[in-house]
Amino acid sequence: MPTRTRTPARRRWRKIFSTAVVLIAVGAAGMAIYLNRQEPADSPKSAVADPTGTVLPDLGQARTDLDRLTVAWNRNWESYERNAFGPGWSGRGGEPELSDGCTAREDVMKRDLTEIRLADSNSCMVLGGTLIDPYTGERLPYNRFKASDIEIDHVVALGDAWRSGASEWNQEQREKFANDTGNLLAVQKQANQDKGSKTPDQWKPRHEYWCDYARRWVAVKVRWGLTVQPTEKSALAEMLDTCTAPVSR
């Protein structure tokens, strides 16, 4: 069988193809570096969220605050919709910014993760870090460009807030609640999904976190004037009994 010879035209097309492959590879590498250093283009922002998060009380104040809460059964549960609290953190933009120019999600990631790595050109963007999940105690790595087992949880869930008073708020107040960093925690994805919108009588984190969890729950409900159900209040009192000393964080 005769050997096929390479014509000048064939050699020229091979050279063009090889050059194109190299250019594509270089372009992909350049795009990765760009994404690693840049925030997506600005998107329209909704109303600025409350610049201060709920402050956790010490044990004595938490007990006093729990006694102050209005006890009532939940209401208006059937009319809850997530968008009543403004945009979530879909990554498509539109999230309100706090006073530091970052979104609530970004601030919580910076606060709750350790060994964090920020983008050079955007101090709001967490590129990597480690989370010790408060709900399970599990150690979780985070990389912005890979699938993550970390989610941001509303401790007092939006659905529970709606049922305990937020259904009567205006849109601005609900959006501020949704971005209250004192009511937000970076947690393990599965634990967040298991918790859903359950109250402390229906779901609890690991026993070692009961004290902080109850203090945070009570502080949020007091600040925002939300009610508690009888069984919810009893569960919170039980959880506060695990606190060994007045603490704050």
Is the pLDDT confidence value at 89 over 70? no
CA gap 80, 66 in Å, rounded: 25
Read off the tokens for 100: 């530091």
How do residues 166-208 score in pLDDT, each as one tens digit? 999 999 999 999 999 999 999 999 999 999 999 999 999 999 9
Percent of the chain scoring above 90 in pLDDT: 66
Residue 179 lies in a domain: yes
Q: How many domains are contained in the chain?
A: 1
How do residues 26-85 score in pLDDT, each as one tens digit? 444 444 444 443 333 333 333 333 356 999 999 999 999 999 999 999 998 788 888 899
Residue 170 lies in a domain: yes
Average of per-residue pLDDT across 199-223: 98
Average of per-residue pLDDT across 136-154: 96
Could you tell me which of 48, 29, 187 has the C-alpha nearest to residue 104?
A: 48
Residue 192 lies in a domain: yes
C-beta separation of 86 from 176 below 8 A:
no
Range of the domain at 74: 59-240
pLDDT band for position 9 (50/70/90)? low
Residue 193 lies in a domain: yes
What is the β-pairing status of strands 122-132 and 114-119? Answer: antiparallel
- Supply the pTM of this predicted model: 0.77
Residue 158 lies in a domain: yes
